[in-house]
Structure 1
Amino acid sequence: MGKALLRDFSKYVSLNILGMIGVSFYILADTYFIAKALGVNGIAALNFAIPAFSIVHGIGLMIGIGGATRYSILNSQNKSEEAEGVFSGSLKLGSLIGLVLIIVGLFGSRTLSSVLGADAVTLPLTQAYMATILSFAPFFILNNTVLAFVRNDNNPRLAMTAMLVGSFSNVILDYIFLFPFGMGMFGAAFATSLSPIISLGILSLHFAGKKRIPAFLKHKMTRPAVLDILTLGSATFITEVSSAVVLTTFNLLILGLEGNRGVAAYGIVANLAFVAVAIFTGLGQGVQPLVSRYYGLKKWELVKKVKRYALLTAIFIALLIYAGTFAYSDTLISLFNNENDPAIAQLADEGMKIYFLGFFFVGINIVTAMFLSATEKARAAFVISILRGLAVIVPLALVFSNIWQMTGIWSAFVLSELIVAGFALYLATATEKGTVIYGKRD
């Protein structure tokens, strides 16, 4: 069983990490091509718009992870009809929320852009990006939802393929729309918005040839099922929304300290960090199907082993990430500093070397929250996510920025993740020792 477990762990984790690295290209490719086409103001505008993307992404992950967790548990208990009902409810819920976000994008994107910090110079660019992303919200949400279900339906390879093809399509379309076609900020957002549609096309292969009425038409969406999906996926959603809140808070603080150049420097750091977070998210999503399956089968020792493997892997990945960014920070920054602005380069370099220390703790926090969600400990997972995104980092950033300016802002991320890691490890230990008992909801 040990070798089989390691084989499954390696397969699910590696495929999901590769897939999430691909997904992170949604924003990273935009940052690179926007830097080349639109310069400092383009990067700053993108940074103001990213919170909207994070919220859309988070809604999709919440519905996908929440629904897929229940789906996996029910399937492991041979309750296939109920599992299919969860899939149906997740699709309908995602479609409904996506339609609401289209309305927000069409009529509220200008107001949202101003609230998130865009000024007279960056407002038109920010609004163009945000309105486009929100107009395609149903596709982003459904893509994340279907990805999670396909992964949990024993097809992680197809899920990875869909993520990678969608993301690489974004890179190609970014170049075409921004340069030969000269479509500006709208072109970058449009390229990103087409990616989930391409991904969904690939994911549809999973359902091809299945001789049954599609689950979307067959089952009704019930209130208890919706609440169950949202509860199990709430920690993932809070993590993404928290990222948006932190990004907005940092943008506003840095705007006051260093202006648009400071925001551009933070944009570089934040987008490189987005890739690092995606790797840890891939790790968490990779272990979720295994944890939920063994939890549903009441194989507690296997649940513990998967968690142990995941935490060790998280620490190893953090070492690789920090060593790589420390050694190649100048090269990485130059990719996005198209105007070779020395002030931006210096701010970003100093920021990366402090900020990325936090990833030694980010992996622990993401893996632990995902583990708790996958074992129906939604409340404990929710606490970790709230602490990571709102309760700790925002107050620290406000206080530290007044004392140590930019150094304080970078350091706030590191210290907050360290503090949360202490809580996360406590909750994980309490779960193992029976303070939160396996097999019972908290």
Structure 2
Amino acid sequence: MQRSVKLFLKCVSLNMLGMLGISFYILADTFFIAQALGPNGIASLNLSIPIFGIMHGFGLMLGLGGATRYKILLSQNKQKQAIKVYSQTLLFALAFGVMFFIVGQFGSGAIANISGANPETFEPTSIYLRTVLTLAPFFILNNTLLSFVRNDGDPTLAMFGMITGSLLNVLLDYIFIFPLEMGMFGAALATSLSPVISLGVLMIHYFKPLNNLSFVFQKIEKRLVRDIMFLGSSAFVNEISGSVVMFTFNTIIFSLEGNDGLAAYGIIANVSFVVLSLFAGIAQGTQPLFSESYGLKNLSQIKQVLVLSLGTSLILSTVIYLSTYLYSDQLIAIFNSEQNPHIAEMATTGLLVYFAGFFFAGINIVSTSYFGATNQPKRSLLFSMLRGGIIIVPLVIVLSHFYEMKGVWLSFVFAEMSVMLLIAWKMNPEKRIRKRKRPG
């Protein structure tokens, strides 16, 4: 029992630190862009995030899906099949990376227009998109390999890969934007080099004795790829739906408050990205533990990891909300470079209302990860879809009509609370294990 708790704390803390590092460089992007380019720069960054999220979604889908199946097979001593899953996943990740590269070369301007860029934000938005999509193969391969290295028994190296890439990105952000005066291109280039650096760190795993990863070039099997994508579909839907929600929020907020509204939402969206990354760290840290326990049919360990992860999520939500309540003015002032009082007022209300939703969102993120890691992709996918768009999009349209900006923030809270109640109704680890033990 004590060993399981120590393993949980190790895996979760390492992944939370790694995800915190990634979110830190997103905050650095926001801060440096706010100082150099003002509200229009933040608005342009905010308009770029949805396509950026879609790209990340493909990498997470392949990484988490492939690594989940890989870990289950390893726990059942099926080494040959596990290596096959690893090889197929990397090949497919590379194919998706090339696809995004092509889109970036020929479609960045069109995506900027579709995202809602106006004459003031079109050029910086298209520059940011073209730059990050050019290096899309590295983003997708990095997300994929991080999951495999973590599930191959090396969460410490995965954490160092994420943090090293993130810290160097912050340094490059400053150099490119200020001394070299490269503007939005500099911010995008610094972000794009982060996964390249992280991949370099992850290569160390292949020289370690514990390494079980071995790439074998082979023809892509549709059946296996479908299985990998299905298992990782909740991660993909989370990112895609996040992009859909952000696009919806951007459109409604712009109609209500213009670029000032987008700047206020940009502050909230980027700070919330840090919070969500911490919850994702809990979910990713527990995923190999859930998958191994499921492969071994160990019900008591599944229950223990579930209780620990949900408890950690609630503690984290409480600390975050109290900190936000006490220091919201200081937090907003960091990104509100022109000290615009209207932006500050909207962002203050938004932080206090929107962040109440994290009490429910943290539980939902951990729970959907549990469903995926224990070979329940349909439930994981369903709850991800409910979280990502099916509930929140109609809510934000209706509530913003009656309560304007406050309605926008409330839609997130009500959507996450609704999904949490549905998850609580369907969560039953005992029934899941009993089904697997049934003969035939």
State the match for 2:26 in structure 1. Answer: 27
Alpha-carbon distance in structure 2 between the residues aligned to 1:219 and 1:3: 43
Question: 2-side partners of 1:216 and 1:33: how far apart?
Answer: 40
Look up the equivalent residue of 1:52 and give its one-letter code. I
Cα shift at 1:211: 12
Alignment check: 8 A CA contact 2:153 2:210 kept:
no
CA distance, structure 2, for counterparts of residue 213 and residue 365 of structure 1: 32
Alignment partner of 1:334 is 2:333: yes
- In structure 2, the residue matched to 1:316 is 315
Task: String of CA shifts for 1:328-352, please: whole Å, max 9, x gaps.
Answer: 1111111111111111111101100
Q: Which residue of 1 aligns with 2:422?
A: 423
Shift of 1:56: 1.1
Specify the alignment match of 2:191 in structure 1: 192
- Residue 6 of structure 1: aligned partner: 5
The answer for the alignment partner of 1:262 in structure 2 is: 261
The 5-angstrom pairing of residues 49-68 of structure 1 reads: 49-68=48-67
Provide Cα deviations, 1:257-297, integer angstroms capped at 9, x if missing partner.
00000000000000000000000000000000000011111
Partner of 1:144: 143
Aligned-partner Cα distance in 1 for 2:244–2:212: 41
Alignment root-mean-square deviation, CA: 1.7
Aligned to 1:126: 125
SS of alignment partner, residue 221 of structure 1: coil
Quote the Cα distance in structure 1 between the aligned partners of 2:436 and 2:111. Answer: 43
Work out the CA distance in 2 between the residues paired with 1:115 and 1:438: 47
Rounded Cα–Cα distance in structure 2 between residues aligned with 1:62 and 1:211:
25
Quote the offset at 1:141 in angstroms: 0.6
The aligned counterpart of 2:374 is 375
CA distance in 2 between counterparts of 1:141 and 1:3 reads 36
CA contact (8 A) 2:205 2:211 kept: no
Q: Tell me the CA shift for residue 90 of structure 1.
A: 1.0
Match of 2:430 among 421, 429, 432: 432
| 1:146-161 equivalences in 2 (<5 Å) | 146-161=145-160
Per-residue deviation at 1:436? 8.9
Q: Distance in 2 between matches of 1:389 and 1:232?
A: 17
Match of 1:349 in 2: 348
How far apart are the structure 1 equivalents of 2:432 and 2:208? Answer: 45
CA–CA distance in structure 1, aligned partners of residues 249 and 191 of structure 2: 24
Q: In structure 1, what is the equivalent of residue 295 of structure 2?
A: 296
Whether 2:400 is the aligned partner of 1:401: answer yes
Superposition pairs of residues 87-102 of structure 1, within 5 angstroms: 87-102=86-101
Q: Do the aligned partners of residues 181 and 292 (structure 1) sit closer, same or farther apart at CA in structure 2, a change above 3 Å counting?
A: same
Q: Write the distance in 2 (CA, Å) between the matches of 1:187 and 1:278.
A: 24
Are the counterparts in 1 of residues 264 and 347 from structure 2 also a CA contact under 8 Å?
yes
Name which of structure 1's ranges 218-227 and 30-39 shifts more when overlaid on structure 2: 218-227
Deviation at 1:233, TM superposition (A): 0.2
Quick one: structure 1 residues 261 and 438, their matched pair in 2 at CA, closer, same or farther if it must change by over 3 Å? farther
Q: Is the 8 A contact 2:299 2:430 kept in 1?
A: no
Deviation larger for 203-212 or 377-386: 203-212
Q: Could you tell me which amino acid in structure 2 is paired with residue 37 of structure 1?
A: A
Q: Structure 2: state its 5+ residue gaps.
A: none
Q: Which moved more, 1:196-205 or 1:54-63?
A: 54-63
- Shift of the 435–151 alpha-carbon distance from structure 1 to 2, 3 Å rule, reads closer
CA distance in 2, matches of 1:209, 1:291: 25
> Which SS does the other structure have where 1:96 is aligned?
helix
User: Which range is displaced more, 170-179 or 219-228?
Assistant: 219-228
- Equivalent residues of 1:52, 1:244 under 8 A apart: yes
Are the structure 2 counterparts of residues 83 and 214 from structure 1 closer, same or farther at C-alpha, using a change threshold of 3 Å?
closer
Any idea what the Cα deviations from partners look like across 1:384-435, whole Å, max 9, x if unmatched?
0000011100000000010000000000000000001111111213x53459
Shift of 1:301: 1.6
Q: How high is the TM-score relative to the length of structure 1?
A: 0.97
> How far 1:208 moved relative to its partner?
2.1
In 1: Cα distance, 2:204 partner to 2:187 partner: 28
Query: 1:387 maps to which residue?
Result: 386
What is the CA-CA distance between 1:438 and the residue it aligns to? Answer: 4.6
* Equivalent AA in structure 2 for residue 39 of structure 1: G
Structure 1's unaligned 5+ residue stretches are none
Following superposition, the deviation at residue 361 of structure 1 comes to 0.3
* Residue equivalent to 1:363: 362
Q: Which amino acid aligns with 2:99?
A: V
Report if aligned partners of 2:244, 2:389 keep a CA contact under 8 Å in 1.
yes
2:69 is matched with: 70
Name the SS for the 1:216 alignment partner: coil
Q: Which amino acid aligns with 2:200?
A: G
Q: 1:73 to 1:337 in 2, by over 3 A?
A: same
Deviation at 1:213, TM superposition (A): 12
Q: Could you tell me how far apart the structure 2 residues matched to 1:299 and 1:411 are?
A: 40
Provide the rounded CA distance (Å) in 1 between the counterparts of 2:372 and 2:120: 42
Matches of 1:6 and 1:19, distance apart in 2: 20
Q: What letter corresponds to residue 430 of structure 2 in structure 1?
A: E
AA partner of residue 318 (structure 1): S
Q: Distance in 2 between matches of 1:212 and 1:30?
A: 35
- State the one-letter code of the partner of 1:279: L
Moved more, 202-211 or 145-154: 202-211
Paired residues of 1:329 and 1:352 also in contact (CA < 8 A)? yes
Name the CA distance, whole Å, in 1 between partners of 2:404 and 2:365: 28
Task: Kindly provide the CA deviation profile for residues 78-99 of structure 1, in whole angstroms up to 9, marking residues without a partner as x.
Answer: 1111111111111111100010
Q: Which amino acid aligns with 2:337?
A: N
Distance 1:319 1:37 in 2: 34
Matched, 1:222 2:198: no
- Tell me whether 22-31 or 165-174 shows the greater mean CA deviation: 22-31
Tell me what 1:233 maps to: 232
Query: Secondary structure of 2:338's partner?
Result: coil
* Alpha-carbon distance in structure 2 between the residues aligned to 1:154 and 1:424: 30
CA distance in 1, matches of 2:288, 2:58: 19
- The answer as to whether partners of 1:88 and 1:220 remain within 8 angstroms in 2 is no
User: % of aligned pairs identical?
Assistant: 49
Amino acid at match of 1:38: L
Q: How many residues align?
A: 438
For residue 247 of structure 2, what is the aligned residue in structure 1? Answer: 248
TM-fit CA distance, 1:308: 1.2
Residue pair 1:280, 1:314 contacting (<8 A) in 2 also: yes
